[in-house]
Amino acid sequence: MHGFETGPASVPTGAAKSPWYTELNSYHWFVLVVAALGWLFDCLDQQLFILARPAAMQDLLKGIAGDEKMFLAETTRYGDIATSVFIAGWATGGLIFGMLGDRIGRAKTMLMTILIYSFCTGLSALSRSVYDFAFYRFLTGLGVGGEFAVGVALVAEVMPGRARPYALALLQALSAFGNISAALINLGLGLAEGQGHVTSPWRIMFCIGALPALLSLFIRRRLKEPETWQRQSHDGAVTQQLGSYRELFSHPTWRKHALLGLVLACSGVIGLWGVGFYTPDLIRQVQAKPITAAVYAEQLESATSQGDTARAAQVQALAEAMRPEATAGISEGLLPLKKELDAKIKSRQTMYQSLASIAINVGAFLGMFGFGNLSQRIGRKPTFALALVAAFISTAIVFWTLQDLWQIFVLVPIMGFCQLSLFGGYAVYFPELFPTRLRSTGTSFCYNVGRFVAAFGPLVKIWLNGFFAYTPEPTRYAGVTMCGVFLLGLTVLPFLPETLGKPLPE
């Protein structure tokens, strides 16, 4: 009989005297650590791409003709296209490996996804054009998309009932450390580039992204399939239905959960990838002029204080030639100095970009784990409603006002808390909507089919950037316009079940 398994329901948090983690044994912790590392490194790869994207596009398109404004527009446009291709690969991989997770097992599928996204991230470092770069990102997306569904299904089925929502929220929250690690790598390499120690640091970043393949050694040695999956995989009548999209959509309950869960996921996924993850790009853009002015002023002051009148004159001449109203252009003798100062400007932009990414993910960690705790007190649906409204308001405020350094440390973490709390909710809620034989398939459908829709988010942003091209900062106005997508999830919440205190469907 399809439905929720009989037996004692999960004990509400308030009724338990001991902390949830006291119910975990050593194998529970091993599963949680392995799944968390798999998803953490998955997010490391995602964030490396987000942070490396501007520099990669500039390097791969550096032969393009046109003025500086046109070049910036083209790098932004191709960066958006690469993002859409990556998300489409993510969605495709999610559908394929989500199904395989139910058919061949969670552990085997997790091993495959980690190897794919690690190897193809390394391939991205070898890109010679925007086209092969986008192709490698598509392949990487295949592995990235499959890892989440099998990871949360594995943790959901292994953990004791009371500990399950907290463990899933922690699994998702720990992914913030992958994002923060990517930001620190970006920051360190950006500073090294400013000092002239490295060139094309984005290629080094993607090489580092290949290292998670080593995690596969631990997965092969100890990780076992959950007992609930093993029982059903040996049941001849059920085996035929494992990981079946036909089965998912032939049953009215699972079909309803899949379609409504898809809309709920679209709200957060499009909001994050179509808006939120462009925050580091926005701070990089709005600070371009102030940073350039500051670097030139510092260099002029340094040359003057050291009595180097020749260098001071060169800096002054270059600053004049860089003015928008200048018509003479930059003389060949000033090009070496321009290259030197451009590296310093780029390094400082990278620092601001990295700080914004770290700020988002500090808030994200608290938001994702906080969702699990709050949803155990007031329910999944009320917590989603609060998170969706908060994500809409906080994101609109950040994109409308973001300008100064202090805002990175105040407004951006609040936005990260609100936006990413939704993803803590997805990790907790989606496995509770589907039975064991369809848990990875259903979770992946909700979380990843939404990415096919989300893949159009950056393309919509391209159109909006063109629409707002008359403004000095098109990304700002495009982001504010797209914030309304967070409210989409509110439309389906009334029709979804409340799962607080209920066991997993069986």
Report which of residues 34 and 236 the model is more confident about.
34
Cβ(186)–Cβ(354) below 8 Å: yes
Residues 6+ apart with CB under 8 A from 160: 23, 24, 28
The average pLDDT across 290-299 equals: 90
Query: What is the length of the chain?
Result: 506
- Confidence bin at 487 (pLDDT 50/70/90): very high
Whether the pLDDT of residue 463 is over 90: the answer is no
User: Side chain identity at 301, as an amino acid letter?
Assistant: E
Cβ(346)–Cβ(190) below 8 Å: yes
How far is residue 110's CA from residue 98's CA, in Å, rounded to a whole number?
10
- Confidence bin at 233 (pLDDT 50/70/90): low
Whether the pLDDT of residue 477 is over 70: the answer is yes
Q: What is the pLDDT of residues 357-386, one digit of tens each?
A: 899 999 999 999 999 899 999 999 999 999
Whether the pLDDT of residue 288 is over 90: the answer is no
Residue among 454, 473, 477 nearest 464 (CA)? 477
- Confidence bin at 289 (pLDDT 50/70/90): confident
3-state secondary structure string across 444-477: HHHHHHHHHHHCHHHHHHHHHHHHCCCCCCHHHH
How far is residue 284's CA from residue 267's CA, in Å, rounded to a whole number?
26
Whether the pLDDT of residue 113 is over 90: the answer is no
CA 183 to chain centroid, in Å, comes to 12
Q: Could you give all domains of the chain from N- to C-terminal order, each with its CATH number? A: 20-234+243-495 (1.20.1250.20)
- Entry pTM: 0.76
Residue among 123, 124, 130 nearest 77 (CA)? 130
- State residue 388's pLDDT score: 97
Contacts 24+ apart (CB under 8 A), 313-318: 315/341
The average pLDDT across 486-493 equals: 95
Q: Which sign does the torsion angle of CA 130, 87, 147, 164 carry?
A: positive
Whether the pLDDT of residue 237 is over 60: the answer is no
- State residue 220's pLDDT score: 65
- State residue 236's pLDDT score: 52
Which of 98-102, 220-224, 422-426 is least confident? Answer: 220-224
DSSP 195: T
Q: Which sign does the torsion angle of CA 22, 24, 25, 30 carry?
A: negative
Contacts 24+ apart (CB under 8 A), 390-395: 390/418, 390/421, 391/268, 391/271, 391/415, 391/418, 391/419, 391/421, 391/422, 391/486, 392/483, 392/484, 392/486, 392/487, 393/418, 394/418, 394/419, 395/271, 395/275, 395/276, 395/419, 395/479, 395/483, 395/486
The average pLDDT across 329-333 equals: 78
* Backbone angles phi and psi of 51, in degrees to 5: -80, -30
Three-state secondary-structure class, residue 505? strand
Tokens of 277: 């993850």
- State residue 256's pLDDT score: 95
Cβ(65)–Cβ(73) below 8 Å: no
How far is residue 132's CA from residue 286's CA, in Å, rounded to a whole number?
30
Which of 8-22, 84-98, 252-266 is least confident? Answer: 8-22
> DSSP letters of 351-397?
HHHHHHHHHHHHHHHHHHHHHHHHHHHH-HHHHHHHHHHHHHHHHHH
3-state secondary structure string across 221-239: HHCCCCHHHHHHHCCHHHH
Q: What is the pLDDT of residues 414-461, one digit of tens each?
A: 999 999 999 999 989 999 999 888 888 888 888 877 777 777 767 777
Q: How many CB atoms lie within 10 A of CB 91?
A: 25
Using CA atoms of 73, 485, 141, 355 in order, give the dihedral in degrees to the nearest 10.
Answer: 60
- Confidence bin at 103 (pLDDT 50/70/90): confident
Q: What is the pLDDT of residues 167-200, one digit of tens each?
A: 999 988 988 898 899 989 988 888 888 777 888 8
How far is residue 58's CA from residue 56's CA, in Å, rounded to a whole number?
5
Residue among 454, 504, 476 nearest 269 (CA)? 454
* Backbone angles phi and psi of 200, in degrees to 5: 50, 60
Whether the pLDDT of residue 8 is over 60: the answer is no
